[in-house]
Structure 1
Amino acid sequence: MNDVIVIGGGLAGCATAYYLAQDGVSVTVLERSELNTQASGSNAGSLHAQIPHDPFVNKGPAWAATFAPTIGLLRRSIDLWRGLSETLGEPLEVALKGGLLVATDAAQMAAIEAKARVERGQGLDVRLLGRDDVHALAPYLSDAIVGGAFCPDEGKANPLAATLAYARAAQALGARFERHVEVTGLARERDGFAVATTRGVLRVRRVVNAAGASAGDIAALLGVPLDVQGFAIQVAVTERTAPLIPHLVYSAGDKLTLKQNGAGSVLIGGGWPARWHRRGHPSTDPDSLSRNMAVALAAVPALAPLQVVRTWAAVVNGTDDWKPILGEVPGVPGFFVNFFPWMGFTAGPAVARIVASLVQGAPAPFDIDLSPFLLASR
């Protein structure tokens, strides 16, 4: 009998498998296609620590208060990202040069200031900048920018490299990976679970549901309701150019994430919606692309001469409250969930380490209150 089966070959699944294997646990990862082909490999590689500005403004103070503890998870995960290339023995292009949320008017600045008070209450280093300060820090910004907030702990990593590096490191420690295997059924047994797949039935003591946007479908196989969703969004990348933007840039006025990778290309996103193709996969929406580029140009006019060379759409994992869903499912001992919505790329290392510990009945390795995220307390 297998000890642990992890369902899902994205960052959450591969990182959880690595930490389990590191602890000497026998683990097998089941992936229905190829590793890193969904949200983990299709995002823009941003490493976030700040509260997302759009829901802060639109959902209000009560939402911000419930979301705020998530900052601790993000901070601890970024700490792991700092040394992750060395830990896994592969270059992951981690660069933490800071995140910059910018405003074009007083109302936006007031919202930034209110958000910064919540973030500082969680121990996050957030520095408010006036017009002169923001332009001294980031001279590439438009003259229309009147101020902003700078978080030095934010940055970027390579989403094409991280998951696969975790998988290779896990495999070197004895973890098994089964690709092109779909889970079709789950049933509780006296000493574990029967996992029905397209290659037969596997018996296992514990299961980790790390299936991303499909986590709800996997949980439903055991009759467990899990309110998770998948949203189609898109990203664009420009031709290469000389070093221009060292920071992760956000806009308080509209959806925007903007950064330059090591090759010199500028990645432009921010959660703009993509379309659903009639065949069921996401596809780029030209209207969203146009609006996204307009927001980017308004923040950084020097982008104007650059050509967009590629766009892509992907499904991002989400929940209505933006809070992660972690831990053992009440009433279903041995069945664990690793689901971090919207910013799962950032949170992946820390959350995987936490879930791997919980699976073993061990305390979480970080000095952080997990109760807001555990299924038992939701």
Structure 2
Amino acid sequence: MRYDLAIIGGGLAGTATAYYAARAGARVILLERRDVNLGASGSNAGSIHAQIPFDPFRHLGADWARHYSEVLPLFIESIGLWAGLEDELGGDLGFVAKGGLMVAGSEHEMEMLREKSAIEQAQGLQIDLWDADDLAERAPFLTAGFPGGAFCPIEGKADPFRIAPLFLKRARAAGAALRRNAPVTAIAREPGGFAVTAGGETVHVARVVNAAGAHAAEVAQLVGVHVPIEAHAIQVCVTEKRPPLLPWLLYFTSEKLTLKQAIEGGFLIGGGWPARMRGGPVVDHRSVLRNLALAQRLVPGLGEVQIVRSWAAMVNGTPDWRPVLGEVPQVPGFFLNLFPWMGFTAGPAVSRAIAALALGQAPEVDLAPFSL
């Protein structure tokens, strides 16, 4: 059988692209080298982001932030989709969007937050600046003495174990085929499209979407394309269940931190702390201790909470943090769906747009600024 579209990668980007393309009537095959949702999509901390991350802002500056801020409309559009996905896909995704608070660790960092928030607001993102009194009144669970923070009301969380499998289920119901344990080893041009060899089988397709995350550079090399994407090993912890304490996604300007409390009561503690590589990514206890100390520095109530589980995973990044999206100019019919670091948030809207582009339709969001 000949397919309209082969999608490489069984994470959120790949399964969502397969869903939107199959729903539009395309003949779709999804190729996954292992099994669905085993990479970053199913191993991240489930944060729904919209604010520009503070760590690169500190190191790369305001000019970088203004350039990076072109992604913010994608986040806004995608969070809007997230809000309706449970109804659309017919399943519980653990999606909650009560807001995200970025706490300033010093007066200087508060001033930097003010500068960053102006850049975000220029792209249509609502940011409310809180002073120390606001923190004391609205966030009494925080350690006293921080000068303020930036609150974004559309941020939140979702369950990374659920989203890609549910997208896949609905894609298959719409006719999409799936090949598990099928690493792609060759992509050759042929009349009318490509011959893609995966897991010992060759399939013939009109177009290809590379949504392989941390392995996307290897896939792109099969068609002679260099993609500036890197693989990073990072880790996350989750605690025992506790009564409700933290209503929002919480960040900190002085160190890397994302902290949130799941609906069932466990705290997810992350922020991009490095794991070790030993054959694959493994948890580094040094990062665990520093991450937990930082979480307790912000929220003293975590002091007696026990860690239940820690895990490590590979995520993808680009040097400038920007995504690489759309058709590769020198290889017509070959598309990239690569969103570093924040791909869990952006995945629904970006994948819907990539599916439209790959089927020759006009996408609902502009991906042109992110072309390779």
Confirm whether residue 372 of structure 1 aligns to residue 357 of structure 2.
no
Alignment of 1:297-312 (within 5 A): 297-312=296-311
Matches within 5 A, 1:285-296: 285-296=284-295
Q: How does 1:240-259 map to 2 (within 5 A)?
A: 240-259=241-260
Which ranges in structure 1 are unaligned for 5 or more consecutive residues?
none
Output the amino acid matched with 1:300. Answer: V
Is residue 2:370 matched to residue 1:359? no
In structure 2, C-alpha distance between the alignment counterparts of 1:197 and 1:6, rounded to whole Å: 11
Superposed CA deviations along residues 312-337 of structure 1, whole A, max 9, x for unmatched, are: 00111100011111111112111111
- What is aligned with 2:33? 32
User: Hey, what's the Cα distance between the residues in 2 that align with 1:202 and 1:374?
Assistant: 27
Instruction: Tell me the alpha carbon deviations over residues 53-86 of structure 1, each in whole angstroms, 9 at most, x when there is no partner.
Output: 1001111122111101101101100000001100
Deviation at 1:133, TM superposition (A): 0.7
Q: Distance in 2 between matches of 1:168 and 1:198?
A: 22
Cα shift readout 1:280-302 (whole Å, capped 9, x = no counterpart):
x0011111111111110111000
1:72-83 alignment runs, 5 A limit: 72-83=73-84
CA apart distance, 1:2: 1.4
Q: Give yes or no for contact 1:104–1:144 (8 Å, CA) kept in 2.
A: no
Q: Which residue of 1 aligns with 2:321?
A: 322
1:249-290 Cα deviation digits (max 9, x unpaired): 00011000000001100000000011001x2x0011111111
> 1:208-247 CA distances to partner (integer Å, 9 max, x unpaired)?
0000011100000011111111100010011110001010
Q: State whether residues 236 and 311 of structure 2, in contact with CA within 8 Å, keep that contact through their aligned partners in structure 1.
A: yes
Deviations 1:189-215 (CA, angstroms, capped at 9, x unpaired): 121111112232111111000000111
1:42 corresponds in structure 2 to 43
Question: Is 1:128 aligned to 2:129, yes or no?
Answer: yes
Give the SS at the match of 1:60: helix
Counterpart code for 2:106: D
| In 2: Cα distance, 1:63 partner to 1:146 partner | 25
Matched with 1:91 is 92
- Total equivalences in the alignment: 371
Q: Indicate if the aligned counterparts of 2:55 and 2:256 stay in contact, CA closer than 8 A.
A: yes
Name the structure 2 match of 1:237.
238
> If the length of structure 1 is used for normalisation, what is the TM-score?
0.97
Verify the 8 A CA contact 2:129 2:150 in the aligned structure 1.
yes
For 1:91 and 1:269, the matched residues in 2 are separated by 23
Q: Distance in 2 between matches of 1:165 and 1:111?
A: 40
Which aligned runs of 4 or more in structure 1 are off by greater than 4 angstroms? none
CA contact (8 A) 2:240 2:267 kept: yes
1:312 is paired with a residue whose SS is strand
The separation in 2 between residues aligned to 1:270 and 1:183, in whole angstroms, is: 31
SS where residue 102 of structure 2 aligns?
strand
What is the CA deviation profile of residues 72-112 of structure 1, one whole-angstrom value per residue up to 9, with x for unaligned ones? 10110000000110010000010000000001321110111
3-state SS of 2:352 partner? helix
Residue equivalent to 2:331: 332
1:247 maps to amino acid: W
CA–CA distance in 1 between the matches of 2:271 and 2:105?
Answer: 17
| 1:325–1:340 contact (8 Å) kept in structure 2 | yes
Is the contact made by 1:145 and 1:299 (CA closer than 8 Å) also made in structure 2?
Answer: no
Aligned-partner Cα distance in 2 for 1:47–1:104 = 22
Q: In structure 2, what is the Cα distance between the partners aligned to 1:57 and 1:121?
A: 19
| Counterpart position of 2:111 | 110
Report the secondary structure of 1:372's partner residue: helix
Residue identity (%): 51
RMSD, matched Cα:
0.8
Q: Alignment partner of 2:241: what SS? A: coil
CA contact (8 A) 2:62 2:116 kept: no
Match of 2:277 in 1: 276
Stretches of structure 2 lacking an aligned partner (at least 5 in a row): none
Does structure 1 conserve the Cα–Cα contact (< 8 Å) formed by 2:132 and 2:145?
no
Q: Which amino acid aligns with 2:367?
A: L
